[in-house]
């Protein structure tokens, strides 16, 4: 049936009052962080995602900062970085750490919009605290002192977040190019530099292209654990 002149589309129906939960709000916020980025999260955008008014969100959260804190903790919970099959035996601590931080790296690459918010300790929620406590516990069981365990966590965490940022940027730059074609284009770009001025770069074009296309996260983490993180308890 034809719509009469001047009619407008019916707006989406609102949810029943009181049907919105805190968990639903955080899940919608995490969806926005994955689709766009957490920095662009607004109460208006969140309300539209949930088909509610902004006031419905304020019944559960005092302000946007509290929502962001909750979204970050939900992100950590969903990433489940310490929930893997690697052994926690002291002899296997390096393998356990590699599995844990690999999961962290992958989660961050998939949701790069949360990275700018991860450096503030006050944002640690219960899920993040549980992850930190577990990692420190494994390091302590491996013979690290309290200070060494904290320092090791800080180094590996900083390395992982930085690596994920580089990997995310590389993924965006590569666009939809397949792996082989992307590698070829990066190599050709490097090789086009004037060799008399940049001999070492041009000569290493193939290896540099491989590194630029896919950041060697695991290799770097293994080097950290085998070297800088092996100190004694002095």
Which of 17-21, 39-43, 135-139 shows the highest mean pLDDT?
A: 135-139
Q: Rounded CA gap, 215 and 202, in Å?
A: 19
Same domain, 74 and 95: no
Same domain, 69 and 146: no
Asked if 35 and 45 touch (Cβ cutoff 8 Å), the reply is: no
Same domain, 181 and 219: yes
Expressed as residue numbers, the domain containing 163 is 90-226
189 domain residue, yes or no: yes
Same domain, 131 and 192: yes
Same domain, 117 and 180: yes
Write down the pLDDT at residue 214.
67
193 domain residue, yes or no: yes
214 domain residue, yes or no: yes
pLDDT tens digits, one per residue of 155-171? 999 999 988 888 877 66
Same domain, 52 and 104: no
Same domain, 42 and 113: no
What domain count does the chain have? 2
84 domain residue, yes or no: no
Asked if 201 and 190 touch (Cβ cutoff 8 Å), the reply is: yes
CATH of the domain at 51: 1.10.10.60
Same domain, 106 and 212: yes
| pLDDT at position 5 over 50 | no
9 domain residue, yes or no: no
How large is the average pLDDT for residues 169-187?
65
Same domain, 153 and 177: yes
215 domain residue, yes or no: yes
Provide the whole-model pTM: 0.74
Write down the pLDDT at residue 40.
83
99 domain residue, yes or no: yes
| pLDDT at position 138 over 90 | yes
Instruction: Give the CA angle between residues 98, 104, 110 to the nearest 5°.
Output: 135
CATH of the domain at 128: 1.10.357.10
Same domain, 74 and 138: no
| pLDDT at position 150 over 50 | yes
4 domain residue, yes or no: no
Model confidence at 2, in pLDDT bands (50, 70, 90)?
very low
Instruction: Give the CA angle between residues 97, 128, 102 to the nearest 5°.
Output: 30
Residue by residue, DSSP assigns 22-56 as HHHHHHHHHHHHHHS-GGG--HHHHHHHHTS-HHH
Same domain, 95 and 64: no
Same domain, 143 and 69: no
pLDDT tens digits, one per residue of 54-110? 999 999 999 988 999 999 999 999 999 999 989 888 888 999 999 999 999 999 988
| pLDDT at position 137 over 70 | yes
Model confidence at 9, in pLDDT bands (50, 70, 90)?
very low
Instruction: Mention every residue, 6+ apart, whose C-beta is less than 8 A from residue 97.
Output: 135, 138, 139, 156, 221, 225
């Amino acid at each position: 049936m034809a719509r009469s002149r001047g009619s407008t589309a019916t707006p989406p129906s609102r949810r029943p009052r009181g049907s919105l939960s805190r968990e639903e709000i955080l899940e919608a916020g995490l969806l926005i962080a994955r689709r766009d980025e957490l920095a662009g999260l607004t109460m208006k955008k969140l309300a539209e995602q949930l088909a509610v008014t902004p006031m419905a969100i304020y019944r559960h959260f005092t302000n946007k900062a509290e929502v962001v804190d909750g979204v970050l903790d939900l992100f950590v919970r969903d990433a489940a970085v310490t929930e893997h099959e690697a052994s926690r035996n002291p002899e296997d601590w390096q393998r356990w750490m590699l599995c844990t931080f690999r999961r962290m790296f992958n989660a961050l690459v998939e949701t790069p919009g949360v990275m700018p918010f991860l450096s503030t300790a006050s944002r640690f929620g219960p899920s993040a605290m549980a992850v930190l406590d577990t990692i420190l516990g494994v390091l302590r069981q491996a013979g690290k002192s309290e200070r060494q365990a904290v320092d090791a966590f800080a180094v590996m965490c900083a390395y992982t977040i930085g690596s994920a940022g580089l990997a995310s940027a590389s993924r965006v730059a590569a666009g939809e190019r397949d792996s082989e074609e992307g590698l070829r284009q990066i190599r050709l770009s490097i090789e086009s530099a004037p060799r008399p001025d940049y001999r070492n770069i041009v000569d290493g074009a193939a290896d540099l292209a491989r590194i630029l296309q896919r950041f060697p996260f695991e290799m770097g983490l293994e080097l950290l654990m085998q070297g800088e993180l092996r100190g004694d308890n002095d």
